[in-house]
Amino acid sequence: MNLTLRQRLFALAVVALVPAIAIIVFNEITLRRSRVAETNDMALRSARLAASELDRVIEGVNGLLLAVSSAPAVRNLDAENCADYLSHLQNQVTLVTGIVAIDLQGGLRCSRNPPRPQQNYADAPFFRSALESGKPTVGGYAVGRQSGRPTLPVSLPIRGADGAVMGVLAAGIDLQALGQRLRERGLSPGGALTIADAEGVIVFREPFPERFLGTRIPDAFQRLVHAPSPGVETVVSQDGTTRVIGYIPATPRLPLYISAGLSSDASFEAIDRATGVGLLIALLGVAGALLGAREFGERFVQRPIGRILDAIRAWRGGDLTARVGSSPEQGEIEAVGAAFDGLMDEIARRHEERDLLIHELDHRVKNNLAIVQALVTQTLRREGVNPAVAAKLDDRLAALAKAHELLLRESWESAGLDDILEAVLRLQPPGQRERIVRGGPPVRLEPRAALAVSMVMHELLTNALKYGALSNETGRVAINWTLEDGALRLEWLERGGPSVVSPTRKGFGATMIERSLAGEAGGAVRIDYEPAGLRCVLSFPGGAGASEMLAAE
């Protein structure tokens, strides 16, 4: 994977943020789990508190009925005295809508108001339940037959002096007064409290009591009314609010269903707000980290590295004075830049030393070549050698000196092929230049290949002037080269000169050409003596080696 330095810094910043984000997520999950457990516990505790309050109310009404049933006027079903007694008692009890005494046939025998003959309670569930059980009972939702108000009837048998059941004493708990008492306990924001009888009919509901009082709990929740044990569930209430409810199912002892609900939104409001703030802070942290990585990377990493790269590019372009200009005290990257400067100083110093050595060597080579030329000339002259042979040898030594001079200008590293040809062609007689054309791509040759090509071209030019295309007034020479995959092909082609005849024996020039190319430069040569003119093809293979060519930029 190829990543830029900035991308790597961003990735590093993100990796550094992963543990912090993981901690935030872990804390969020832990906090929410804790809040769920806390909310469940609060809902169930609220339901238990409401059940305890109802139990106290019912126990109080039972105690009241038990005390009233022991009064002689009530126990004897003495209508006149009983009515006065109940009327006086009713004024002191606000939670009860009315107390009535009923005979065994269901007839109303005693109440605060004068009984009407047509009133009969034989069909009332609370009446039958009290007679059948023989003990205090709590009935279901009902509308008081005398008060006309919603009530929850509580009843118990009336026993005579001999313990025999004489009738039923009943009281109706005023659901409006009960509701007011329960509301005084308070509800959490968005919370709800529901109380239903054993049949699932709602006797109290907060909020919206007027909407739900006397209605039946939906079938989806009826299973909770007679559940085997108290519990907690998350439900969508009838008013459309999602709540966590703690419920107490109806039991024989307390035949009422109680559920207390806490709004999920209200319960998790603080956590959601904290989560939003935490998420915002995390996002700002990520943005800050990425921005910081960008600015830090650009200022303290990219810029110093950019200066180093700029210095390297300038140095490779030939500017040996290029330097980074940093100090190792500034940091690790700057220390690399300072090390680069030190290396460049060392290379520059060695370049100067090398240039001095090359100039000294060139001076000595020139002197040696001059001495060799003088010795050869004098020797050949004294030995009576043909002056033409001496001149040819002198020309060869001059060509070799020109090639050395050209390589010296290039610090003995390489030489351009076109420059080599230009140096050779300068040795030709005046007036012949326009008869030679050359062309090809920019190519540089390493020193041994440059010397070999220079000597070969000199031999070919000398031969063309003496015997070939340049020996008359109409001949032409074309020098062309191509470069493919590092392989160089150089062609010398003569046309328009005297007819060419293949020699019967290989001369010194041809021998020197082959040895120069094959032995010294690792190349190959092919000479074709075509009748129309000489063709000589030099080839250098591509790849590393003694004859490696460098394509000029």
CATH number (domain holding residue 428): 3.30.565.10
Res 388 pLDDT > 90: no
Q: How far apart are CA 424 and CA 142, in angstroms?
A: 130
Does residue 296 lie in a domain region?
no
Assigned domain for 194 exists:
yes
CATH number at residue 159: 3.30.450.20
Higher pLDDT pick, 178 / 474 = 474
Decide if pLDDT at 115 tops 60: no
pLDDT at 117: 53
Which range, 263-272, 356-365, 495-504, is most confident?
495-504
Q: How far is CA 338 from CA 257, 304, 344, 351, in A?
A: 85, 11, 10, 20
Mean pLDDT of 49-74: 82
The residue among 391, 396, 456 whose CA lies nearest residue 421 is 456
Q: What number is the average pLDDT over the span 193-213? A: 83
Residue whose structure tokens are 């020039």? 509
Q: pLDDT tens, 295-353?
A: 666 666 667 777 777 778 877 777 777 777 777 777 777 777 778 778 777 877 877 77
pTM (predicted TM-score)? 0.50
Alpha-carbon distance 79 to 101, whole Å? Answer: 9
Mean pLDDT score, 112-123: 69
Contact (Cβ atoms closer than 8 angstroms) between residue 55 and residue 76? no
pLDDT computed for residue 548 by the predictor: 44
Instruction: Indicate the number of domains in the chain.
Output: 2
**Per-residue pLDDT at 90 exceeds 50:** yes
Instruction: Count CA within 13 A, CB hemisphere, residue 431.
Output: 7
For residue 342, being part of any structural domain is answered with no
**Is pLDDT of 68 > 50?**
yes
Consecutive H or E run containing 51: helix 5-69
Least confident span in 175-179, 197-201, 384-388: 384-388
Indicate whether 478 pLDDT > 90. Answer: yes
Note whether residue 481 is domain-resident.
yes
Beta strand pairing call for 150-159 and 165-174: antiparallel
Q: Which residue has the higher pLDDT, 515 or 487?
A: 487
Give the C-alpha separation, 103 to 446, whole Å: 135
> What average pLDDT does this structure show over 90-118?
75
Average pLDDT over residues 59-86: 79
What pLDDT is attached to residue 479? 94
Which pLDDT does position 444 carry in this prediction? 86
How far is residue 447's CA from residue 427's CA, in Å, rounded to a whole number? 21
357 in a structural domain: no
Please report whether residue 351 resides in a domain. Answer: no
The answer to the question of residue 252 being in a domain is yes
Torsion of CA 22, 27, 33, 35, to 10 degrees: -150
**Distance between start and end Cα atoms, the chain:** 30
- pLDDT for position 111: 79
Q: What is the pLDDT of residue 522?
A: 67
Whether the predicted pLDDT of 378 surpasses 60: yes
pLDDT at position 3, please?
58
At 16-28, the pLDDT tens digits run 667 777 777 777 7
**Sign of the CA dihedral 448, 450, 453, 459?**
negative
Write down the number of H helices and E strands in the chain.
Answer: 15, 19
In terms of phi and psi (left: phi > 0; alpha: psi -120 to 50; beta: otherwise), the region of 45 is alpha
Point out which residues pair with 491 in neighbouring strands: 480, 537
CA distance 185 to 167: 37
**Distance between CA atoms of 129 and 101, rounded to whole angstroms?**
15
Q: What tens digit of pLDDT does each residue of 488-509 get?
A: 899 999 999 999 888 776 655 6
Residue 421, domain extent:
413-551
pLDDT score, position 552? 42
Instruction: Identify which of 232, 213, 219, 227 has the alpha carbon closest to the alpha carbon of residue 257.
Output: 227
3-state secondary structure of 319: coil
Residue finishing a domain among 238, 267, 296: 267
What is the C-alpha separation between 256 and 217, in angstroms, rounded?
Answer: 13
Q: If you average pLDDT over each of 24-33, 77-86, 107-116, 458-467, which comes out highest?
A: 458-467
pLDDT value, residue 542: 58
Cis bond upstream, residue 207 (ω within 30) = yes
For residue 402, tell me if it sits in a domain.
no
Decide which of 214, 236, 267 is a domain's last residue. Answer: 267
To the nearest whole percent, how much of the chain has pLDDT over 90? 6
Of the three residues 209, 236, 267, the one that is the final residue of a domain is 267
Lowest mean pLDDT among 53-67, 250-264, 350-364, 459-473: 350-364
| Helical residues (DSSP H) of 70-123, grouped into ranges | 72-75, 79-90
Predicted local confidence at residue 326, as pLDDT = 77
Stretch 159-166: mean pLDDT, rounded? 82
SS (H, E, C) 382-415: HCCCCHHHHHHHHHHHHHHHHHHHHHHHCCCCCE
Report how far residue 510's alpha carbon sits from residue 518's, in angstroms, rounded to the nearest whole number: 12
Q: What average pLDDT does range 217-227 have in this prediction?
A: 86
Identify the three-state secondary structure at position 92: coil
CA dist 405 and 205 (Å) reads 113
Which of the residue ranges 53-62, 151-160, 281-290, 398-407 would you say has the lowest mean pLDDT?
398-407
